[in-house]
Amino acid sequence: MTVKTVDFITKIVDCRPHEGRSLRMILTRPAGTGIFPVVLDLHGGGWGGKSMEECGDRDVVLAKAGIIGAALDFRHGDAGYPTSLKDINYAIRWLKANAQDLSIDSKRVGICGQSSGGHLAMLAAMRPNDPRYAEIHLAGNASEVDANVVCIGMAWPVINPLSRYRHARRARAATPSAAWVGDLPERHETYWKTEAVMAEGNPMLALERQETIATPPALWVQGAPDPAHDYRDPSSPIEMNEPERFAHNYRAAGGKIDVRYIDFESREGNTSHDPLAEFFCQHLA
């Protein structure tokens, strides 16, 4: 299905049409002709809810700014880690390999995500060559195509799955009716299975383990106040909430990152979309 407007064109494509499991993507690109940068966009939902349609409003803002938004329908939920990363790594390579047909500049590829999608965006960008994530074969003569990205935009990412799981469980024990907790612990358990896996697939702890990682320029947009994403991990060696702790570690590893705080109540709209679009325009120009 293709939808055309004055400002943008939306089209659903299948990245793996001849395989046993399809991998769909919604492409929202600027109207008119040209070769455009692209941002792979990852929805949130605690690794077990929502869908690629959640990215629609953000990708329209990107398209109006001259960037293709590519919302991915990746595996999550009880499919478990690292299935999402396999789909994401493949999707980055697929976009690059099919750049000519999609009016994409293969050298200007970014990645974006909200909440758990922000976690996945950062982890995919940090580990573009992880053999587990690059497991899905890309058809054709595309062995030279990699999954590196130019930059990363995140909206209130669950950057530390282990600390957020423990944080939510503590909050539930202290206040069983805490509205923000909901079924977050159960979603963590469904996707991650164990705390050990939460610690392994963890951008925060990967930095603190001093793993060899990629550190593209990044933006973290954070609503405030937000107990689900902006809290202090009591086990942290740094007296900072998670956004600032991650930024501190990322800079120490050689990366550039800005943490921008916005109003929590209006975070789902242009209050977060606009700074992300501005960031991607700056780095994918």
- Interval 247-275: pLDDT, tens: 999 999 999 999 999 999 999 999 999 99
Q: What is the pLDDT of residue 180?
A: 96
Q: How many Å is the maximal CA-CA distance in the chain?
A: 56
Quote the pTM value: 0.96
Over the chain, what is the mean pLDDT?
95
Q: What is the pLDDT of residue 144?
A: 82
Residue of 90, 105, 52 lying closest to 280 (CA atoms): 105
Start-to-end Cα distance in the chain: 29
CA distance 81 to 190: 10
19 — pLDDT class (breaks 50, 70, 90): low
Q: What share of the chain in percent tops pLDDT 70?
A: 96
Backbone angles phi, psi at 155, to 5 degrees: -110, 115
- Domains assigned to the chain: 2-284 (3.40.50.1820)
Chain centroid to Cα 260, Å, comes to 17
285 — pLDDT class (breaks 50, 70, 90): confident
Q: Are strands 257-263 and 152-155 parallel, antiparallel or unpaired?
A: unpaired
Residue of 62, 77, 52, 78 lying closest to 29 (CA atoms): 62
In the predicted model, is pLDDT for residue 3 greater than 70? no
**Mean local confidence (pLDDT), 98-116:** 97
CA distance 128 to 42: 16
Residue of 110, 207, 117 lying closest to 152 (CA atoms): 110
User: Tens digits of per-residue pLDDT, 167-211?
Assistant: 999 999 999 999 999 999 999 999 999 999 999 999 999 999 999
